[in-house]
Structure 1
Amino acid sequence: MRNLILPFILLLTFVFSCRENDIDDGLEKKTTSYDLYVAGTENNQACYWKNTIKTILPGGTNYAASTIFFDNNNLYILGVDRTALSNGTNYSFWKNNVKFDVATYLGISANTPTIQNFTMSNFFVKNGDLYIAGLMKNPAPTSSQNLYQYCHWKNGVKTIVFEQNSYQTSASMHLIGNDIYIPLENNITVSNTVPTTWDLGYYKNNTYHFVSTLSNFLNIYEDNGSLKLLVMDQNNQTVYYKDLLTGTTSPSPAFISYSDYSYSLQTDGNDKYFVGREKYYKNNIQHSVYSPASNFKYLNSFKVLDNNIYKILHTDDITGVNYNVYINDVIVQSATNSSNNINTEFFNLTVVPQ
């Protein structure tokens, strides 16, 4: 089984776009109408760039700025502490460049070299409300069966979703309308004599719903009034949708195969985008994420706004990891590193109308 809650140095948030018009015209419109924000690190300092102009985040030494977004004209950046710990990692966030320690904000114990107290699965803001979710060590367990708690916090107010005896889970939180959905794999049975078994289910506002056995959660989408859970069936080695509102199942798009299932659905107006590791589909028409002649083949961030593509790609070779930021496949920002000196890294981007 997979442990899907891991310290995330790269929170890959996918939103998509493309443009069929002239690239030069598109770039001219972008520079006059939009601000492009890129989050990352430079000289071991968490920072972000607005239209290539850098801002160093206060208290960001040894942090990676891994996620950046706006809500109600407020800028939020999540930072992951790169200080070496043998048990987990710690987190901070900045709101309009003011730093908040996540453990302090939530009123929980931070991780130490010997104790793993908390691992985050989600961090986002919607309509001014800050949501955080993750698995934490129970501060007051009553038995060996509730040593750990999966919780979510809204503006710092804690809700316990479930408790268990092990420090691993596949759970993640998704806010759909006013409802909180938490898909997960549970009831895991491990034996030396028979194959491992487990259930796939989800919590809706803290009420559990069973989906199937021997299946894995891949994603959850709100699509034209339906709520679709993307499921991988380990028995049949297939991928399908389950509509959580009607209970019906349907095939996933043909290109989402069992062997290549890392697609995230996003929309831009009436256009629907699926993006994967190496290619994306706009209304079921395939496009490449990168140029075959380029060494920049690894995707960090991919977003859409008004039918224009914004993305971060990086290389991964013996000469060092380098980064490019693109608007409609035109490079607008670069970071060149060597194998001995990874000085600058780009992790995530967002685009804001001026």
Structure 2
Amino acid sequence: MKTLILPFLFLLTLIFSCTPNDNDEILEKNVASYDVYVAGMENYKACYWKNNIKINLFSPDSTTANKILIENNDVHVLGKTRANFNGSYYYWKNNVRLNLEQYLGIPAGHYYKILDMAVDGNDTYFIGYYDTLSPVAVQKYAFCLWKNGIKTELNTSDNIIYDDSKISVFNHQSYVSARIRNAGTIESGYYVNSLFHTIPGISTVCNFTETVAGIQFLYTKNIRYYSMQLSTNTETLITDYINPPPISSKISGEKTSSDYYITAIMPMINSYLKNNVQTTFPLDTDYDMIKDLFVLDGNVYVIKQKSTPFASKVYINNVETQSIINPANTFVNAFNSVFVVAN
């Protein structure tokens, strides 16, 4: 793995080549110390990097780590085997691994998919669905929320309609975006705990973030991005930029700022939206997929990927800090998720 990490203390030395106003801005952003966690895989094995130092996750299988969260100094990772169909899903807490099929009580041998993970203090949440093998068509797939391994069945359907769902926890309440089946029709919106709130016209549900304006819910309809401020049910058109419809869209922000960022693997090639303004990433245009983006104290952390040959890079405030490539015609190394904490 090629590494180009620049410690923040080194970055601070760059202020001497800036204007006085630039000095103040850079100093303000970088006086604190941060731990940067990046999850992914190397040599077809799930792992994560803390400040560019790799930690292998206990995993005898061929796996990749798809999401990493840090809470109370505990490291939480969600991953799976890289099977094309019905792979196994795993969860690591401080490198202790659980098989989620077993931990969540999913019947052995039933097709299942774990869609997302959230952590709130000592509570861990997962959302996903599984094939119940029920002879009743509308009960075939069960969409569930698990809190500390205890299941709440949210919805059932005869079709897989849940793949876009995401989960966040705010004020100790779970928020789950979802398309559900209700009395024979498909509705879209979000759950707060187990209570569903319908928003008409949604075609794709995305995720949640919290800014100074409150909890924001991102979704699309009529091939346009919208967000809803959930405390007031105020819907805002973000952009009609989308054409074709988006893939893997995400809204990111932080509670201390009004800024928000929207990324999508497609069709926003090498760009993202910041406060509704399309922003082109200034480096490595061949790394045209923004895989993940995280914001903390005004600093922006980005994972970008390219597909031919497959490779990943990490950037902090538009400075490349980490990269990983693949041998020719292979896909065994990748960065997938970034999370940052102040220390």
Shorter-chain TM-score range: 0.7 to 0.9
Q: What amino acid maps onto 2:313 in structure 1?
A: N
Q: What amino acid maps onto 2:253 in structure 1?
A: Q
Inter-CA distance 95–339: structure 2 relative to 1 (3 Å threshold): same
- The Cα shift of 1:284 comes to 5.2
Correspondent of 1:316 among 301, 307, 315: 307
CA distance in 1, matches of 2:224, 2:84: 38
Deviation by residue 1:63-98 (Cα, 9 ceiling, x = unmatched): 00121221111011112112x354x22111111111
| Residue aligning to 2:262 | 275
CA contact (8 A) 1:239 1:252 kept: yes
- The Cα shift of 1:41 comes to 1.4
Give me the CA root mean square deviation.
3.4
Is the counterpart of residue 46 in structure 1 residue 24 in structure 2?
A: no
| Residue aligning to 1:202 | 190
| Residue aligning to 1:333 | 322
Inter-CA distance 332–239: structure 2 relative to 1 (3 Å threshold): closer
Higher relative contact order structure (alpha carbons within 8 Å, sequence separation ≥ 6) = 1
Is the counterpart of residue 251 in structure 1 residue 236 in structure 2?
A: yes
| Residue aligning to 2:114 | 120
- The Cα shift of 1:351 comes to 2.1
- The Cα shift of 1:287 comes to 3.2
Correspondent of 1:211 among 199, 206, 224: 199
Is the counterpart of residue 289 in structure 1 residue 281 in structure 2?
A: yes
Inter-CA distance 305–200: structure 2 relative to 1 (3 Å threshold): closer
Q: Note the 1:23-102 alignment, pairs <5 A.
A: 24-25=14-15, 33-82=33-82, 84=83, 86=85, 88-102=86-100
Q: What amino acid maps onto 2:151 in structure 1?
A: K
What runs of 5+ residues in structure 2 fail to find an aligned partner?
A: 1-10, 16-25
What runs of 5+ residues in structure 1 fail to find an aligned partner?
A: 1-20, 191-196
Instruction: Report percent identity of matched pairs.
Output: 29
TM norm structure 2: 0.77
Q: What amino acid maps onto 1:233 in structure 2?
A: K
SS at match of 2:304: strand
Inter-CA distance 309–85: structure 2 relative to 1 (3 Å threshold): closer
Deviation by residue 1:145-171 (Cα, 9 ceiling, x = unmatched): 323211111111111112233344254
Deviation by residue 1:13-53 (Cα, 9 ceiling, x = unmatched): xxxxxxxx9783569x9698222222221222212222222
Is the counterpart of residue 129 in structure 1 residue 114 in structure 2?
A: no
CA contact (8 A) 1:90 1:110 kept: no
TM norm structure 1: 0.75
Task: Report the count of equivalent residues.
Answer: 315
CA distance in 1, matches of 2:193, 2:47: 36
Q: What amino acid maps onto 2:304 in structure 1?
A: L
